[in-house]
Amino acid sequence: MGSGARARVAVFGAYGHTGRFVVAELLERGFAPVLSGRDADRLKELAAETASASEPDTRAASVDDPASLDRALAGTAAVINCAGPFATTAAPVIEAALRAGIPYVDVAAEIEANVDTFAHFADRARAAGAVIVPAMAFYGGLGDLLTTAAMGEDWTTADEAHIAYGLTSWHPTPGTRAAGAVSRERRDGRRVRFANGTLEYRDDAPPTLRWPFPEPMGAREVIGEFSMADVVTVPSHLHIPEVRTYMTTEAARDLSAPDTPAPAAVDEHGRSAQTFLVDVLVRSGGDERRAVASGRDIYAVTAPLAVEAVDRILTGRTRAVGVASAGEIFDAPDFLRALSPHLSVSLPSGSTSPEPRP
């Protein structure tokens, strides 16, 4: 555990589905979470439910009340924003983090919200020496880390990156549904892909194909160009003109169906039965490299991703300042191996980093 242990870390949206996992992970790793969000009653309920030596500090705050956000972040070492839609919450919480002089991390999967963060805050954050890490989550963060690790230290460019999501199911949270509705509205119902070095908005239907996932999943039918936040995070720092993401058709159907229930806990950690396999293939010329991660529950695994990020920021294990994605600011292979209690990861032999921790 890094020297950031016992640091006070604000969690905005603490009582949401992902926020609860983040709070639990902070406590597990010895941090002191400060619970924040709009609903004071839900914050108090969460504090009472949280197993720790003493009830966590609760600070109600709203994104339309900057003074309340300032109070929520006062005396904290960092903030993790778990409250979507991030099109609404990211900018106000980032502004509050800049005023407080603390790092900001969020778990945004919304493509447009992440584009906004890079566009609106890159210059200011760099000038201030501030650290802002958007999409530090299953979507955006994990794919970026895997792609960066696959590139290794020797590939500075690649022709294309393919990130295939093998989800056994996808029971969306209310927050996921709300964020998706905002994204669809901002796109006027169009779909988005990253091709020819830019984001393209299209009206045609995405392709369907079979992706050769490693065993035990094996080949599965996927929706091609099912774009997630990786099409923002990966090109933000890697010279790859084609970044394509794919989703198993079963999971895509679950997400689109209006009657798919929210995730249901099946173990003592609150995780659902959902399992995932993320298969990344990077091509350069005639060469290919692959990086693979597998685990359980995309919402639950977001918590160690975000908390590991905060720990590395607070202990100075970073490679950049300003607005930076996971792959740019962290040592990607080392970061992935640090997640071994939560993820099984296979990296190409060309990836260089310290040996896995005992």
pLDDT digits over 95-146, tens only?
A: 999 999 999 999 999 999 999 999 999 999 999 999 999 999 999 999 999 9
Structure confidence at residue 1 (pLDDT):
38
358 occurs within a structural domain: no
- Whether 225 and 192 share a structural domain: yes
- Whether 285 and 311 share a structural domain: no
Structure confidence at residue 51 (pLDDT):
67
Please provide the average confidence, as pLDDT, over all residues in the chain: 94
Structure confidence at residue 352 (pLDDT):
40
- Whether 108 and 125 share a structural domain: yes
pLDDT digits (tens, 9 = 90+) for 13-27: 999 999 999 999 999
119 occurs within a structural domain: yes
Of the pLDDT bands very low, low, confident and very high (cuts 50, 70, 90), residue 34 is very high
- Whether 18 and 95 share a structural domain: yes
Structure confidence at residue 355 (pLDDT):
30
Q: In CATH, what number is assigned to the domain containing residue 226?
A: 3.30.360
- Whether 117 and 182 share a structural domain: no
Compute how many other C-beta atoms are within 10 angstroms of the C-beta atom of residue 218: 12
- What phi and psi, each to the nearest 5 degrees, are found at residue 290? -130, 140
- Whether 164 and 290 share a structural domain: yes
Structure confidence at residue 357 (pLDDT):
25
Structure confidence at residue 159 (pLDDT):
98
Q: In CATH, what number is assigned to the domain containing residue 317?
A: 3.40.50.720
Of the pLDDT bands very low, low, confident and very high (cuts 50, 70, 90), residue 55 is confident
Helix (H, G, I), strand (E, B) or coil at 252: helix
pLDDT digits (tens, 9 = 90+) for 288-315: 999 999 999 999 999 999 999 999 999 9
Segment 47-61 shows an average pLDDT of 85
Structure confidence at residue 52 (pLDDT):
65
- Whether 191 and 277 share a structural domain: yes
- Whether 158 and 255 share a structural domain: yes
Of the pLDDT bands very low, low, confident and very high (cuts 50, 70, 90), residue 3 is very low
- Whether 287 and 147 share a structural domain: yes
Judged against a pLDDT cut of 70, whether residue 353 lies above it is answered with: no
- Whether 198 and 314 share a structural domain: no
DSSP line for 139-173:
IIIIHHHHHHHHHTTT-SB-SEEEEEEEES-----
Sequence-ordered alpha helix ranges (H) in 101-229: 111-128, 143-151, 174-186
pLDDT digits (tens, 9 = 90+) for 313-341: 999 999 999 999 999 999 999 999 999 99
354 occurs within a structural domain: no
Structural domain count of the chain: 2
Instruction: Provide the residue range defining the domain that includes 325.
Output: 8-138+302-333
Judged against a pLDDT cut of 50, whether residue 197 lies above it is answered with: yes
- Whether 150 and 234 share a structural domain: yes
Structure confidence at residue 180 (pLDDT):
92
Structure confidence at residue 6 (pLDDT):
82
SS3 content of the chain, % helix, strand, coil (to 5): 35, 25, 40
- Whether 150 and 116 share a structural domain: no
Judged against a pLDDT cut of 90, whether residue 54 lies above it is answered with: no
230 occurs within a structural domain: yes
Structure confidence at residue 280 (pLDDT):
98
Q: Are 183 and 189 in contact (CB under 8 A)?
A: no
Measure the CA–CA gap between 330 and 350, rounded to whole angstroms.
18
Measure the CA–CA gap between 257 and 260, rounded to whole angstroms.
6
